[in-house]
Amino acid sequence: MNNYILKIDCVDAKGLIYSISDVLYKSDLNIVKNDEFVDSENSRFFFRAIVSGDIENGNLVSRLKVVMPKDAKITLTKKRRKKIIIMATKESHCLGDLLLKEYSDDLNAEIVAVVSNYDYLKKLVDKFDIPFHHVCHEGLKRQEHEEKVFEVLKNYECDYMVLAKYMRILSSDFVRYFDGKMVNIHHSFLPAFIGANPYKQAYERGVKTIGATAHFVTNDLDEGPIISQDVINVTHEFSWRDMQKAGRNVEKVVLSNALDLVLEDRVFISQNKTVIF
Amino acid sequence: MNNYILKIDCVDAKGLIYSISDVLYKSDLNIVKNDEFVDSENSRFFFRAIVSGDIENGNLVSRLKVVMPKDAKITLTKKRRKKIIIMATKESHCLGDLLLKEYSDDLNAEIVAVVSNYDYLKKLVDKFDIPFHHVCHEGLKRQEHEEKVFEVLKNYECDYMVLAKYMRILSSDFVRYFDGKMVNIHHSFLPAFIGANPYKQAYERGVKTIGATAHFVTNDLDEGPIISQDVINVTHEFSWRDMQKAGRNVEKVVLSNALDLVLEDRVFISQNKTVIF
Amino acid sequence: MNNYILKIDCVDAKGLIYSISDVLYKSDLNIVKNDEFVDSENSRFFFRAIVSGDIENGNLVSRLKVVMPKDAKITLTKKRRKKIIIMATKESHCLGDLLLKEYSDDLNAEIVAVVSNYDYLKKLVDKFDIPFHHVCHEGLKRQEHEEKVFEVLKNYECDYMVLAKYMRILSSDFVRYFDGKMVNIHHSFLPAFIGANPYKQAYERGVKTIGATAHFVTNDLDEGPIISQDVINVTHEFSWRDMQKAGRNVEKVVLSNALDLVLEDRVFISQNKTVIF
Amino acid sequence: MNNYILKIDCVDAKGLIYSISDVLYKSDLNIVKNDEFVDSENSRFFFRAIVSGDIENGNLVSRLKVVMPKDAKITLTKKRRKKIIIMATKESHCLGDLLLKEYSDDLNAEIVAVVSNYDYLKKLVDKFDIPFHHVCHEGLKRQEHEEKVFEVLKNYECDYMVLAKYMRILSSDFVRYFDGKMVNIHHSFLPAFIGANPYKQAYERGVKTIGATAHFVTNDLDEGPIISQDVINVTHEFSWRDMQKAGRNVEKVVLSNALDLVLEDRVFISQNKTVIF
């Protein structure tokens, strides 16, 4: 079966679903599944369908463009395993979880490379025969370091960049380059505990729940569109180290769930939010 | 705004969404929101849309019937506050929660009457100026008791019957009468702990989570289509009475959430399961 | 059975549990249950026991004082139903839940009065035959209004003051008066969304979980020691009104759970945190 | 610091905590933390303390035996990294999670060997330089196969045996040998969906939550004392394969959490339940 993902994002108008289904029907294509959402506050229409049949790509998108509002962003992609690059620093739980999932065919992506500013994780990545690149940041300005990272990255094609506990702030140039393509895991239920050591902040505040947030990266630190969140309960018996340890399970599961959604083209970015089908 | 809920349930086929949207478009109606699901295992198509515009009801359904598969079950209902009857026994938490919600305009329904086999709850129901009917079961066979209940019920119209901790088993005649219209709250996460005193069963099994399940009532006790479930954690410190107390919060929230879904016509029954949009 | 709750909070030292159990044993008292926690960061010892036997109160506390560190805060209270006053504004869900729970003997407290700056909730409170006091704030300075509230309050004894969606900021005098005795429900998982309309903030941030926090009230708005928190998941389909509606179930359950803990003397305040047994 | 875990389990009696703390105090030992629970239904007393100081093991236990009820089971163990053996079949997620955790020093145990009835997982285990033993069951009776497994096991010392998705039923001899020392992960929230393919059972029942349960293994399949449970929500869109995939994250986290508790000597077995401090 040839399955395609059709995503449309445009200003809302009357009859959009009719227009889309009319084009698909007349192209002899079948809608296996469709989801639709209208953000009435901003008058935006979001549509995603799994379409089966014989598709001449350019043709279908052109035909849809004729009947859709002018601003419509239409993408049609064949269902396929995406390529991702992972950046990490020292912690292994999120990275390791993704390595294991790929190894067990439980991740709908190929990890083409891992880049880190330390070499701590090299041994682990080597076990899974995936290229590991240590790009040390010491003694370098942010821009210099990122240029070196880019030199590594240019050897790989990737659909998404995954920050699996990459603990350095990225320049706006770097962020812009991966606009809408870079997913980060933050170790708190945002917007609580933005910034450094959220577990210590949580401990000091005396919260009874801690959590994690996976989000797209934008220029505003920890402020990008949220994809997935989860929490667990803690008690007064938890030191911040205990919270950190307990939080690792949440972090890795939240990141992995978010990637599942992103890799299946189920996520739209709508200003600073996500629409997820 | 005239908003209608259109629900269609039929055998799956090619082009159904096109056919539906074609009819709606040509009737000058707008789809405010639509959800669709294909149960591929059973080849069933489920569709729900919020439709706005001027609708001549019979007409639209007829036009849809022409283009849909023969077995299609099509309902078109104007958005309105439904009527419900509540049956309960002695416990007040689920009933009370619904009374409060209606009182505060937080329940999308009118409670037209409460029926109980005891008179314990009369005082509470009276506070909210809702008719309370005590239909005592003592000394009566099941059928005799249900006949008396029916005599009460025939004075009211209702869209749904809600069993808010009604602790008597119902005859198949009674169940059949409210087929697809009767919602029960069971005090366990089904299918665990079917039958009597689930909290005692849970206590004796030593589980670490307890829960509640809202489901449509069918002839098989606690086996009907599940609408909503939730759980909470317990520890070895919980007696079964503690579990029962803690469980009450779950029961009332799960029942209330399930009713919200049912009352907004968001639930389809598909054999022994639900499809919920 | 005469059951007492013994609570001790002091600087940590060697042999404290021995010293306590020695005194209890020699007083011919039995420890039904005990919990203990050492906050090693601050070198504080927290101890709570349910003690059974014939107790001459003053005597036991005196004997314990002899063997405990000088700063020890020792309280011994007979298990009893506490008295609470509830303050609310317009929303009924938290107040109503507590009224219902008391009515059904499911709240370990007597609600002696309800005070509100509006009269919206009078009808509801009247149903449960509990004194309702409308103390209008219009045209009054904060201090003037609080003085009028105090005039009402002085007619009642209470163990705890419960803010069940009381939407006005309290002066530091008012807060100090109920130091460690006033519990508030905040409609977000603190410290996220401090201040006004957290649901709107949550909606605008595009979070995927919303929650509620019950905490003791201190001078710093929404910054007091947290007792209980919980969250639920939301999606892009939720308007902020939908979040508010869904959040109500969380708010009332979190407040009710926190009160259960407080009313059973299970909560210690330790600076800006709680220790809960 | 020399920290020891003292665990006592005996018939309940007056003054037990006094007697224990008296012995500890007179042995010049400090209680860093203690937890206590009385199962009043069965009149059992459970006590666990972290004790610091210079301990002559045999001596302390003897002195405690003098003052405790005759049936008292007293264990005193120095805090140390335990040894575990893992048995698995084909699925890698639970095993891999434990391998990663040990590799990252996030598991309070040493994995001394992995035994499987297939060789699928050999490659993965080899990456982590841990002995892997393939003990094929084909053509063998249960007893014959288990004898071969025992021949492998006798080369290793272990504190606990972990069944990380080992899909074969064990004989009562095997179970008895590891009495109270063998932890299994079952892929449902027990007691729902005992036996084969719980996800398929869950799918067919149409539940809205699925879960996992870690428990000690006893002769009754899936009936042993439960250590830890957790659930996640599912919808009608989940096929049973989707449930299985989503469930993997729950399974591995529940097993890992249960092991954390067991490995820190925080779990008592009390008939068919656990008491966990």
- A120-137 pLDDT per residue, tens: 999 999 999 999 999 999
Tell me how close the Cα of C9 comes to any Cα of chain D, in angstroms. 15
> What single letter denotes the amino acid at residue C154?
K
Q: According to the model, what pLDDT value does residue D166 have?
A: 97
* Chain C residues within 8 A of B253 when measuring between CB atoms: 249, 253
Please identify among residues 77-96 of chain A the ones whose CB lies closer than 8 Å to any CB of chain D.
91-93, 96
**Integer angstrom CA distances of residue A124 from A96, A100, D128:** 8, 11, 9
Cβ atoms within 10 Å of A234's Cβ, excluding its own: 21
| Residue listed under structure tokens 């739980």 | A93
Whether pLDDT at B255 is above 70: yes
Whether pLDDT at A57 is above 70: no
Whether pLDDT at A44 is above 70: yes
Q: A236, C193: Cβ pair inside 8 Å?
A: no
Task: Give the CA angle between residues C108, C111, C116 to the nearest 5°.
Answer: 140
Please identify among residues 13-42 of chain A the ones whose CB lies closer than 8 Å to any CB of chain B.
14-15, 17-18, 21-22, 24-25, 30-38
CA dist C248 and C237 (Å) reads 18
The Cβ-side half-sphere exposure at C97, using a 13 Å CA radius, reads: 22
More confident residue, C55 or D226: D226
Mean pLDDT confidence for A83-94: 98
* A222 classed as catalytic: yes
| Catalytic choice (A9, A97, A159, A222) | A222
CA dist A273 and A180 (Å) reads 12
SS3 B48: strand
The Cβ-side half-sphere exposure at D4, using a 13 Å CA radius, reads: 21
Task: Give the CA angle between residues A105, A108, A112 to the nearest 5°.
Answer: 90
Q: According to the model, what pLDDT value does residue B221 have?
A: 76
Q: According to the model, what pLDDT value does residue C221 have?
A: 77
Q: According to the model, what pLDDT value does residue B153 have?
A: 96
Whether pLDDT at D14 is above 70: yes
Judged on CB neighbours under 10 Å (0-12, 13-18, 19+), B137 is: middle
Q: Are C108 and C262 in contact (CB under 8 A)?
A: no
Q: For chain D, give the percent of residues with pLDDT over 90.
A: 89
Tell me how close the Cα of C31 comes to any Cα of chain D, in angstroms. 7
Whether pLDDT at B1 is above 80: no
Which tokens in the block code for residue B77?
């209902």
Which of C54-68, C229-243, D81-95, D160-174 is predicted least confidently? C54-68
Q: D36, C32: Cβ pair inside 8 Å?
A: no
Whether pLDDT at D85 is above 80: yes
Q: Which chains touch D (3 or more CB pairs under 8 A)?
A: A, B, C
Sheet arrangement for strand A132-134: A132-134, A109-116, A82-88, A160-163, A182-186, A209-216, A226-233
| Residue listed under structure tokens 């992972």 | A86
Mention every residue, 6+ apart, whose C-beta is less than 8 A from residue C231: A189, A209, A211, A231, C189, C209, C210, C211, C250
Cβ atoms within 10 Å of B130's Cβ, excluding its own: 17
Which tokens in the block code for residue D52?
């610091």
Q: According to the model, what pLDDT value does residue C99 have?
A: 98
Residue in C closest to B121 by C-alpha: C104
Per-residue confidence at D220, pLDDT binned at 50, 70, 90?
confident
Whether pLDDT at B46 is above 80: yes
Residue to mutate among A21, A22, A51, with most B CBs inside 10 A, is: A21
Which of A63-72, A241-250, B173-182, C186-195 is predicted least confidently? C186-195
B1 CB within 8 Å of a chain A CB: no
Tell me how close the Cα of B215 comes to any Cα of chain A, in angstroms. 26
Q: C33, D31: Cβ pair inside 8 Å?
A: no
Mean pLDDT confidence for A165-194: 94
Residue in B closest to A49 by C-alpha: B36
Q: C272, A206: Cβ pair inside 8 Å?
A: yes
| Residue listed under structure tokens 């294991």 | A100
A65 CB within 8 Å of a chain B CB: no
B257 CB within 8 Å of a chain D CB: no
Q: B248, C106: Cβ pair inside 8 Å?
A: yes
Task: Reply yes or no: is the peptide bond before residue D69 cis, omega within 30 of 0.
Answer: no
CA A247, A252, A255, A257 dihedral sign is negative
Whether pLDDT at D56 is above 90: no
Nearest to B245 among C92, C106, C253 (CB): C106
Nearest to A104 among D96, D100, D249 (CB): D96
Cβ atoms within 10 Å of A237's Cβ, excluding its own: 12
Sketch out chain C's domains with CATH numbers. 2-78 (3.30.70.260), 81-178 (3.40.50.170), 185-277 (3.40.50.170)
Mean pLDDT confidence for D50-67: 88
Q: According to the model, what pLDDT value does residue D140 have?
A: 96
Tell me how close the Cα of A252 comes to any Cα of chain D, in angstroms. 9
Q: D191, B209: Cβ pair inside 8 Å?
A: no
CA D218, D224, D230, D232 dihedral sign is positive
SS3 B221: coil
Mean pLDDT of chain D: 95
Q: D106, A245: Cβ pair inside 8 Å?
A: yes
ipTM, two decimals, is 0.95
Whether pLDDT at B101 is above 70: yes
B235 CB within 8 Å of a chain C CB: no
Whether pLDDT at D1 is above 90: no
Q: According to the model, what pLDDT value does residue C54 have?
A: 85
Each residue of B192-230: pLDDT tens digit? Answer: 998 889 999 999 999 999 999 999 999 887 889 999 999
Strand partners, B50: B5, B33
Tell me how close the Cα of D54 comes to any Cα of chain C, in angstroms. 14
Mean pLDDT confidence for C208-216: 97
Q: According to the model, what pLDDT value does residue B30 have?
A: 87
**SS3 for chain C, per residue?**
CCEEEEEEEEECCCCHHHHHHHHHHHCCCEEEEEEEEEECCCCEEEEEEEEECCCCHHHHHHHHHHHCCCCCEEEEEECCCEEEEEEECCCCHHHHHHHHHHHCCCCCEEEEEEEECCCCCHHHHHHCCCCEEECCCCCCCHHHHHHHHHHHHCCCCCCEEEECCCCCCCCHHHHHHCCCCEEEEECCCCCCCCCCCHHHHHHHHCCCEEEEEEEECCCCCCCCCEEEEEEEECCCCCCHHHHHHHHHHHHHHHHHHHHHHHHCCCEEEECCEEEEC
Q: D229, B236: Cβ pair inside 8 Å?
A: no
